[in-house]
A = this chain, B = another copy of it.
Amino acid sequence: MTAEILAVGTELLLGQIANTNAQYISQRLAELGISVFFHSVVGDNPARLEETLKRALDRSDIVITTGGLGPTKDDLTKEVIAKAMNRKLVFHEDILEKVRDFFMRKHRIMVKNNEKQAYMPDNSLVIPNLNGTAPGCIIEEGEKAVIMLPGPPNEMQPMFNESVFPYLKQKTGLVLVSKMLKIFGIGESEMESRLIDLIEKQNNPTIAPYVSQGEVTVRVTARCPDKEEALKLLNPVVNDIKERLGDFVYSEEGETLEQVVFNLLNEKKLVMATAESCTGGLLAGRITSLPGASGVFDKGFITYSNKSKVDELGVNQETIDKFGAVSRETALEMVNGLRKKTSAQVCVSITGIAGPGGGTPDKPVGLVYIGVSVGDRVVCKSYDLMGNRERIRNGACMRALDIIRRLILGLDI
């Protein structure tokens, strides 16, 4: 079964909002094994909407529209689609009652243009909207269907979940199972060259690699009439990929690297502490972004100035003078100083040159030293990171997290 998503709204074409509805609906359709081949966005313009709708209906089984169901003159989705599909709009007294109710509960007066929302295409299934005034609807035509939903995500999402998802699930009769492998420490192209034959012959399960913010993800998805069968297709492929990529794979469930480290700390009953220079609190910020962080995080120092490295972590001024604040020696003294100031079993220090200024031929922008201790084992690694200040700082955090993961799991670093 194929579907496409057609968003209606000039605000999308002006870039005032992103089309997050298309993302949300696509995710849910993927779960159902419904293939989405197109997203489109058109403005509040009847001719362009009709043209796009007709093409969508021609080439897809299901067309889901978002937006343009409200009370204003610009809201024309229902009117245009009803006309294109030769349906009359029919007045529903019970819908008007609900709209009136909605205004009453909000202590607001219902302006007359709201009556428009009580007209629905003849012979359509009405989708109730509990969080707004505009109901949605489904028009079926033979095997095809057009599903209209309102634009605001807080109205659209519950309507999709409560009405549309069950409706579509019944239509497909398929179950879908997927794994999301997360990979760090290997480039996209290197990864692909290791997986190329699998990617080329993929069918069911499908294999989808993609990259965002330094993390590489491979989603593997199998679709079958029942779950058992889907797992039988899925597992051997997932295991094959894991074998080829080894311990670069840090999650099968799409978790972030900080979530994986957090889980490891939790499991092993370890607590961590941080001493950050160039990352300025970002590493601590990532770990503490997770609910329950107080169980695994003791404290952090942001020792940005040289003096603060000396005062707070007991780094020797001579070490900084001789080797520089960005050096293996300073990183090690930072992490060792931190160990004295906390009872945390996992300590991390980061010092580097995030740029854009501050680089020298000897120590270019992107040079980062990371010290990590787990129990009595202390390591220090250096990296030459690329990109702008933000990427270098993020990259340093990712590498620090990966070192922690590897040390806790006893993997090579």
Contact = CB atoms under 8 A, between A and B. Distances in A.
A357 B288 contact: no
Interface stretch (A40-48, A90-98, A222-230, A236-244): A40-48
Contact of A48 (B37, B208, B209, B307): B37
Contacts of A355: 291
A324 interface: no
Given A11-B208, A48-B37, A105-B384, A276 B281 contact: yes
A13 interface: yes
A111 interface: yes
A246 to B, nearest CB: 17
A1 to B, nearest CB: 14
Contact of A300 (B27, B281, B283, B288): B281
A40 B37 contact: no
Interface string A81-106: 00000000000000000000010011
Nearest to A300: B302
A305 B298 contact: yes
Contacts of A386: 102, 105-106
A113 B193 contact: yes
A413 interface: no
Query: Which applies to chain A's interface (DSSP): helix, strand, loop or mixed?
Result: mixed
Interface residues of A, number: 109
Interface in A11-61: 11-20, 22-30, 36-43, 45, 48, 52
A216 B72 CA distance: 13
A211 interface: yes
Contacts of A23: 12, 15, 17-19
A152 interface: yes
Interface in A255-276: 274, 276
Contacts of A13: 26, 36-39
A212 interface: yes
Oligomer: number of copies: 2
Nearest to A364: B105
Given A293-B304, A300-B302, A384-B106, A14 B41 contact: no
A297 B274 contact: no
B285 A312 contact: no
Contacts of A219: 14, 16
Interface in A169-218: 187-190, 192-193, 196, 199-200, 208-212, 217
A377 interface: no
A190 B37 CA distance: 39
Given A74-B209, A111-B190, 16 more contacts: A13-B26, A13-B38, A13-B39, A15-B24, A37-B45, A38-B42, A73-B192, A108-B187, A111-B187, A113-B189, A154-B387, A281-B300, A289-B390, A293-B304, A294-B304, A299-B304
A-B CB proximity, top 3 nearest = A280-B288, A281-B281, A15-B26
